[in-house]
Structure 1
Amino acid sequence: MKNLNIKWIYLFILSIIWGSSFILIKKSLLGLSAFQLGALRTIITGIILLAFGYSKLKSVPKSKWKWLMISGFLGSFFPAFFFAIAETEIDSAVASILNSLVPLNTIIMGFAIFKITSTKRQVLGVIIGFIGTAILILKGSELNPNQNYLYAGFVIASTIMYAANVNIIKRYLQDVKPLAIAAGNYVFIIIPALIVLMFTDFFTSERLDHPDLPMAMVYVTILSVFGTALAKVVFNKLVQISTPVFASSVTYVMPMIALIWGVLDGESFSYIQGLAALLILMGVYLSHRRKT
């Protein structure tokens, strides 16, 4: 019963944090390019996690390090750039909605590759949630006909990588401390991120004199501290105390938070999207309600 309550608390916290991440990405892009944002997000997060979690790395078995590397690139490095690139063309709320494909990919990949079984109720819940997501996407495309939805491919690619990552954590890193997983991920990806940043124009006088750069740095720092560093640790713990499907279902609740931020920032929203959000919540409940 204790774990049952705690995992819902973790899910709620992550929904707020990650649901707010999309608007932070949007605001950061006002003063940064997509590659600069992805690199800075990775570097700042890496510094924080390694500062607090370096001592935990000594407890990681040698056999786990290859999985930490794969987890780092799939769960953190590439998505940090892909979401930034996507939001140069599509709304932050739309990106969050597309991110709801993660649970569906988690079930498919967990069964096909990692041999992790899912119950019929989990599958039904994911399908219902996916229908709600599809309604949100279709309605969003009607409200925003001028957006380039080809860039949605970057989000979809990220959802596949997230699905692989959550299954890797559950299958191969179950006995590794959550902070050690997060810090270990960034051991491998912080240097590549620094290299990417060096090949952008971030250090030029033109970029450093950009009027929106100071606030962009504030937004990317908040995004790194809360939306990445803290959220990674909480998410890794959630995967370990629940199931891959339950942990990935945070992406079903996130769009509602992102939509609220989007509306406050002037993005379009309709009552049909609100009904679709309720359908998503129903899917989350069904996929995780225990048998009586």
Structure 2
Amino acid sequence: MTKRDLIIFFTLSFMWSLSFIFYRVGVPEFGSIAFASLRVLFAGFTMLVFVLISLENRRGIRENWKLLTVVGLVSTAIPFVLFSFSAQSVNAGVLAVLNASVPMMSGFIASTFFNDKLSKKQILGLFIGLVGVVILMSESLFAGSESDTSLLEGLLPMGYALLGCVGYATGANITKNYLQGLSPIAITAGSTIIASMVMLPIGLYEFPYGKSISLQAWVSVICIGVFSTAIALIFMNQLIKNIGPMRATSITLVIPIFAIFFGYVLLGEALDLGAIIGSAVILFGTYLSLNISFKKMLRS
């Protein structure tokens, strides 16, 4: 892993962690499904600009449209919808823990279907990172549960989120193994534009017509679509090509650290000892799973 990859990794963590702030502002006004649909639509519109100004990107999308359709569905459209359903009844802490299962799923898919073996150090790092996420989100995990909620009603929304994580992991592996010759911009443009076409009727149906939407909510949905989806996915696809799907998706272990920091600074949320300890554990686990050498990076 090079210094450039590491910079992209933490820049992407920063950009995706802002999604928590955007969701907090926009979802209450738009509704979860409408907000997710608009997120994909704004991402698709943004990437359409890249397609229109680049003949190479258009050619790449035409030649790989079938695979890009699969990536757009399994790693963008379907997961966003599944997480939207899940977010209606599962709190943010549990969703963060579930989302952190992506690198483990990605590593399993890579080693099972693509013969991409993981080192013992990487596997250990992933487990340590997951432990850190549980520590980080322990208060959210066990707070606010209702005793009268049935087991099925409690598990089904979590199942939606886990299925969405499978989609993220599957899309990352498809990108790494079948779209290596395509630029990250073309991959992102093709997949998000296709996903936005799928989400358009959902967004039209779920949009809260007749309701006054604040400027802050509109800014949030535009920012999450343009910066935390379109631009972020360009970085993510570049990272997948450079360091592989398992190490790239381990970014989901770091995102809660940034999210808690922004929650503390921007939303006035509590920052306790558990958050500090969990963050330290996550950073150590991520360091192991990325299998990086700071000495080699400094030499380069």
TM, length-normalised to structure 1: 0.88
2:243 maps to a residue whose letter is: S
Change (3 A) 1:37 1:79: same
Q: Confirm or deny: 8 A CA contact 1:125 1:282 kept in the other structure.
A: yes
% same residue = 27
Deviation per residue, 1:37-84 (Å, 9 max, x gap) = 111111111011011234343332766322111111111112222333
Return the offset for 1:268: 5.2
2:256 maps to a residue whose letter is: P
Unaligned residue ranges in structure 2 (runs of 5+): none
2:16 is aligned, of 15, 18, 38, to 18
Return the offset for 1:33: 1.4
Which residue matches 1:186?
A: 192
SS of 2:206's partner is coil
Which residue matches 1:152?
A: 158
1:9 maps to a residue whose letter is: I
Whether 1:244 and 2:242 are equivalent positions in the alignment is no
Unaligned residue ranges in structure 1 (runs of 5+): none
Which residue matches 1:273?
A: 275
Equivalent-residue separation in structure 1 for 2:141 and 2:29 (angstroms): 27
Equivalent-residue separation in structure 2 for 1:152 and 1:269 (angstroms): 26
Which residue matches 1:68?
A: 68
Which residue matches 1:262?
A: 263
Equivalent-residue separation in structure 2 for 1:133 and 1:140 (angstroms): 11
Equivalent-residue separation in structure 2 for 1:96 and 1:24 (angstroms): 15
Aligned length in residues: 285
1:59 maps to a residue whose letter is: R
Return the offset for 1:266: 5.1
Which residue matches 2:171?
A: 165
Which residue matches 1:102?
A: 102
Give runs of aligned pairs for residues 12-91 of structure 1, distance below 5 A.
12-54=10-52, 55=54, 56-60=56-60, 64-91=64-91
Equivalent-residue separation in structure 1 for 2:246 and 2:20 (angstroms): 22
2:167 maps to a residue whose letter is: M
1:134 maps to a residue whose letter is: V
Q: Confirm or deny: 8 A CA contact 1:253 1:281 kept in the other structure.
A: yes
Equivalent-residue separation in structure 2 for 1:143 and 1:61 (angstroms): 46
Equivalent-residue separation in structure 2 for 1:83 and 1:267 (angstroms): 23
Q: Confirm or deny: 8 A CA contact 2:93 2:137 kept in the other structure.
A: no
Equivalent-residue separation in structure 2 for 1:23 and 1:239 (angstroms): 26
Change (3 A) 1:237 1:100: same
Change (3 A) 1:105 1:290: same
2:118 maps to a residue whose letter is: S
Change (3 A) 1:61 1:219: closer
Q: Confirm or deny: 8 A CA contact 2:43 2:230 kept in the other structure.
A: yes
Q: CA RMSD in A?
A: 2.4
Equivalent-residue separation in structure 2 for 1:248 and 1:222 (angstroms): 22
Change (3 A) 1:103 1:276: same
Q: Confirm or deny: 8 A CA contact 2:39 2:224 kept in the other structure.
A: yes
TM, length-normalised to structure 2: 0.86
Which residue matches 2:135?
A: 135
Is the deviation greater in 40-49 or in 19-28?
19-28
Equivalent-residue separation in structure 2 for 1:277 and 1:227 (angstroms): 22
SS of 2:117's partner is coil
Whether 1:123 and 2:123 are equivalent positions in the alignment is yes
SS of 2:64's partner is helix
Whether 1:289 and 2:287 are equivalent positions in the alignment is no
Change (3 A) 1:61 1:40: closer
Q: Confirm or deny: 8 A CA contact 1:26 1:87 kept in the other structure.
A: no
2:166 maps to a residue whose letter is: I
SS of 1:89's partner is coil
Q: Confirm or deny: 8 A CA contact 1:74 1:165 kept in the other structure.
A: yes
Deviation per residue, 1:112-157 (Å, 9 max, x gap) = 2222221121111111111222333433223444599643333322
SS of 2:100's partner is helix
Equivalent-residue separation in structure 2 for 1:23 and 1:92 (angstroms): 11
Equivalent-residue separation in structure 2 for 1:286 and 1:97 (angstroms): 19
Equivalent-residue separation in structure 2 for 1:158 and 1:275 (angstroms): 28
Q: Confirm or deny: 8 A CA contact 1:129 1:284 kept in the other structure.
A: yes
Is the deviation greater in 175-184 or in 118-127?
118-127
1:242 maps to a residue whose letter is: I
Which residue matches 1:222?
A: 223
